[in-house]
Amino acid sequence: MEGRLANSWRLTVNDKNFIKTALLSEIRIDGRKPFEFRKISIKFGREDGSSEVQLGQTRVMGMVTAQLVQPYRDRPKEGILSIFTEFSPMADPSFEPGRPGELAVELGRIVDRGLRESRAVDTESLCILAGKFVWAIRIDLHILDNGGNLVDAANIAALAALLTFRRPECSLGGEDGQEVIVHPPEIREPLPLTVHHLPIAISFGFFSNESILVIDPTHNEEAVMGGRMTTTVNANGDICAIQKSGGEGVPRRVIMQCLQLATSKAASITKQIKDAVEVFNTERALRKIKRHPTSTGNDVREKQN
């Protein structure tokens, strides 16, 4: 059953030519301009650290969990950040369950590089007892619907989940101060993570005729394009990572153009993420006030079955 020709999806030659011809007149098949991003919607789940991002038709869910572990030997005072990407078979009929394929690994690495090496998440504040106990933050990214440009959506989901995640507060105790006591969330309010800046990934697609450039390619455009590049920049104008693996060569000025575009888009996306997180935090605070259910008319003894 695996690998049967009938089961694989292919874009027809007519579709491909249509997309390419339309791009020559700067028209994209979903009506956008070449440098226009799709609509981003960021939603959060009930728990802290769970986000769902929709970028046009692409849908990604992010979950952040934390565990106390022993730190790496060569970094005894730093916490651990790990990213797991799941290309769920529900996103695309060609995604197989089981071990992540190349695309999943590449996506994971791009998001990882943006967060870890630019020191966006402060890992030193995750250390509780140097050499013995640190927090290991695990980010799970589930791709639910593949509408193109999974990297950008996954990155936003990871950032949104990290900003709303709260880790339990813990203190040192025991006779020699070597024991770690983790306080449950009902006793002590859990703490948010320290995130210094938000690295936003912006992807570009290159097409062979007349070096046409588009931002945020859709699924159909990805099947047609000759090369892709993902730049991770933050709102301050710092470049956190650039990934261009193979594909056709592009001249220098095109790369500079991409970087400039990316910086301007990053500012607006950062604002959107921060606004959504604000709304979630206010709701969360309100929910805490209403924690005990007020006594409603429980005297009505109607049999609800």
- Give φ, ψ of 92 to 5 degrees: -160, 135
* 32-40, 43-51, 179-187, 223-231 -> range binding other proteins (CB under 8 A): 43-51
Q: Binding string, 135-174, against other proteins, x = CB under 8 A?
A: ---x-x-x-xxxx---------------------------
Least Å from the CB of residue 157 to other proteins: 13
Distance of closest approach, residue 95 Cβ to other proteins, in angstroms: 9
In three-state secondary structure terms, 23 is helix
Binding mask 187-226 for other proteins (x = CB under 8 A): --------------------------------x-------
Structure tokens at 237: 């104008």
Structure tokens at 252: 């220098």
Among 90, 136, 223, 239, indicate the residue that binds other proteins (CB under 8 A): 90
103 forms part of the interface with other proteins (CB under 8 A): no
Residue 246 binding other proteins, by CB under 8 A: no
Q: Which residues of 78-107 are buried (b: 16+ CB within 10 A; e: fewer)?
A: bbbbebebbbbeebbeebeeeebeebbebb
What backbone torsions phi and psi does residue 263 show, to the nearest 5 degrees?
-65, -40
Q: Which is nearer to other proteins, 6 or 13 (CB)?
A: 6
Q: Does 291 bind other proteins (CB under 8 A)?
A: no
Smallest distance, other proteins to C-beta of residue 91, A = 6
Handedness of CA 97, 98, 103, 107 (dihedral sign): positive
Nearer to other proteins, 271 or 287 (CB): 287
Query: The tokens of 80 are what?
Result: 């651990």
Contact indicator for 118, 234 with CB cutoff of 8 Å: yes
**Residue 135 Cα to chain centre, angstroms:** 20
Residue 206 in contact with residue 226, Cβ under 8 Å? yes
SS3 104: helix
Cβ proximity to other proteins: between 59 and 265 the closer is 59
- Min separation Cβ 196 and other proteins, Å: 25
Residues that bind other proteins in the complex, under the rule CB under 8 A: 1, 4, 6-7, 45-47, 50, 52, 57, 59, 61, 63, 65, 86, 88-93, 97, 138, 140, 142, 144-147, 219, 293, 295-296, 298, 303-305
